[in-house]
Structure 1
């Protein structure tokens, strides 16, 4: 029969609790039947042994008229057996019908005290009973005919059998603790495994989201009710964030695209005015600003195209395939303008992310170094603690220390050499920082030992 599947976390906990309680209940109910220290009926085998001893005693003393002599002989026989530790025999007790123990001992020994307790503790003797006192077992009574009278015969013997398993457990708490641990540990391990699996799936899904992979995971919607509901909520959140990011990026793309139409008409009108009225400083200024605005819109469109669904498009790429060609082309371009560019060997590692964003981010940093560097640009790549470090340095005018953090703000331009006269729009480093942050990395600007700007990029592998 297949057991029903428990889908609730609390259901599993209660199932384990009730299963443990059931084991304890079974042990409690079974202990009285297994405990030899509790009076119970003798087995058929033991009853046969008692009857055989009774018959032997009746035959031995069939011609003895005195019950006192019979008791004396039985006590004497027991004392002789007790002298030899290896052959300790049973003890025989004769009790009259009024409950008096017949003995030749002057003092009541511990065996007689146990027998009195046995007689008084048993409610009825319709059938022979047995009870254990330490390592001494008392059995009886059986009716015996001695000296032409009826008496009750009780037999006491050394109990050499090992105690029942449950009895040993309850007598020795340390062993009981070990047994409880042996029974409960597999159940607890199973419960821990059952709880950890959905939690680990949720953890892995959260890490993927942190990496920028906004994909719902159907496996989160399985398991116990509580984790299933959490998985459904998590997937709904991922879909909502995905739609929100995609909507914002498409809105930016649409706005940038729509701005191009009036900008194009503005430049056409400026051209017509120049043709009719000739060149003038005012028209030249209008055309220059229109070109700058067009460049800015082009960069916004490029940013929008790169970011649209970039959080969905993720793949593993070798670092050399991403940037080796970019560095080679940059080295050639630097030589054309009389500058020197050096780059170190690219480590043989792979990076998970959006290739276009990663390539565009590093290329933007390198081209800025070529543009503002005076004669030398150095690029270093190395791996340390599961992180890829990319350092780009130039010997240009650099950036004032109090503006190093501001250069990553959109449309920000420094007030010295890197100003709006250089032709920049202030979006390049903002785009670069956005791409690095999308890959859980970071970018930092500082002063280079060459005298210019130093850009330090860290990307997790």
Structure 2
């Protein structure tokens, strides 16, 4: 090979972008297959596993691209006003076929409020968090939204075993503090924390909180946006 300077991170980012798009098309095809063959596929554990793992990979690739852009200093938040209950309903709808296929109850409890945030970035955070909740819940998942202390707080709750002590966290995560032995979960939390911190107003900055409890006594993920 000659001495051309190859920006390997850019090559990887381009490949990740292509894989993300291909997985998006695969997920659309899986949704169509489930609809066309609802009787035979609706409760198929193999089909549910296929859809769950494809969704998980797609989320990981979205987050990798976001973190790459963050490292290149060209990831910024495009803040717009959104009606929060509708935003959450759209995201629950994306996961509804899989939730129903797995027999998981789901609900939304959101105040009738507007929020100011980057919809694309928050979509990446929510999709990953809901996907994690599907993995760890026993039977129930709930999305919540309210205004607290001048922040919009969007939460994802489940009735699983909850977060271990080492993962319960408030504030902003640093990349060096992550334990990637736990798999993609750390990637998702770093991405969520980064997205939250891109939202700021009047000296206040967004953050995430992980704790146990909520209505179901399981894990609770919250993103606080000023």
Residue 119 of structure 2 corresponds to residue 359 of structure 1: no
Deviations 1:13-55 (A, max 9, x none): xxxxxxxxxxxxxxxxxxxxxxxxxxxxxxxxxxxxxxxxxxx
> Is residue 257–residue 301 contact of structure 1 (8 Å, CA) maintained in 2?
yes
Q: Distance in 2 between matches of 1:252 and 1:324?
A: 39
Residue 92 of structure 2 corresponds to residue 334 of structure 1: no
Q: Distance in 1 between matches of 2:152 and 2:58?
A: 36
Deviations 1:420-461 (A, max 9, x none): 4xxx3631111111101111211111112534311122212x
Partner residue, 1:368: 132
Q: Distance in 1 between matches of 2:62 and 2:127?
A: 17
Aligned residue among 139, 150, 162 for 1:398: 162
Deviation of 1:379 after TM superposition, in Å, equals 1.9
Structure 1 residues 329 and 256, CA gap change in structure 2 (3 angstroms): same
Q: Distance in 2 between matches of 1:296 and 1:313?
A: 21
Give the aligned CA root-mean-square deviation in angstroms: 3.6
> Is residue 331–residue 340 contact of structure 1 (8 Å, CA) maintained in 2?
no
Q: Distance in 1 between matches of 2:103 and 2:118?
A: 33
Partner residue, 1:444: 209
Q: Secondary structure at the match of 1:444?
A: strand
Q: Distance in 1 between matches of 2:96 and 2:14?
A: 37
> Is residue 405–residue 445 contact of structure 1 (8 Å, CA) maintained in 2?
yes
Residue 75 of structure 2 corresponds to residue 319 of structure 1: no
Q: Distance in 2 between matches of 1:318 and 1:383?
A: 13
Deviation of 1:409 after TM superposition, in Å, equals 5.8
Partner residue, 1:172: none
Q: Distance in 2 between matches of 1:361 and 1:336?
A: 23
Partner residue, 1:429: 189
Residue 141 of structure 2 corresponds to residue 377 of structure 1: yes
Q: Distance in 2 between matches of 1:295 and 1:322?
A: 18
> Is residue 153–residue 222 contact of structure 2 (8 Å, CA) maintained in 1?
yes
> Is residue 108–residue 144 contact of structure 2 (8 Å, CA) maintained in 1?
yes
Unaligned runs of 5+ in 2: 1-6, 17-56, 200-204
Q: Secondary structure at the match of 2:186?
A: coil
Partner residue, 1:257: 13
Q: Distance in 1 between matches of 2:166 and 2:110?
A: 33
Q: Distance in 2 between matches of 1:320 and 1:398?
A: 25
Q: Secondary structure at the match of 1:311?
A: coil
Aligned residue among 169, 176, 179 for 1:412: 179
Q: Secondary structure at the match of 1:389?
A: strand
> Is residue 413–residue 426 contact of structure 1 (8 Å, CA) maintained in 2?
yes
Residue 204 of structure 2 corresponds to residue 459 of structure 1: no
Structure 1 residues 377 and 408, CA gap change in structure 2 (3 angstroms): farther
Higher relative contact order (CA 8 A, sep 6+): 2
Structure 1 residues 341 and 409, CA gap change in structure 2 (3 angstroms): farther
The aligned runs of 1:20-169 (5 Å cut-off) are none
Partner residue, 1:350: 115
Structure 1 residues 430 and 312, CA gap change in structure 2 (3 angstroms): closer
Bigger CA radius of gyration: 1
Q: Secondary structure at the match of 2:81?
A: strand
Deviations 1:402-422 (A, max 9, x none): 3323995656257xxxx44xx
TM-score of the superposed pair, with normalisation by structure 1? 0.32
Structure 1 residues 402 and 384, CA gap change in structure 2 (3 angstroms): closer
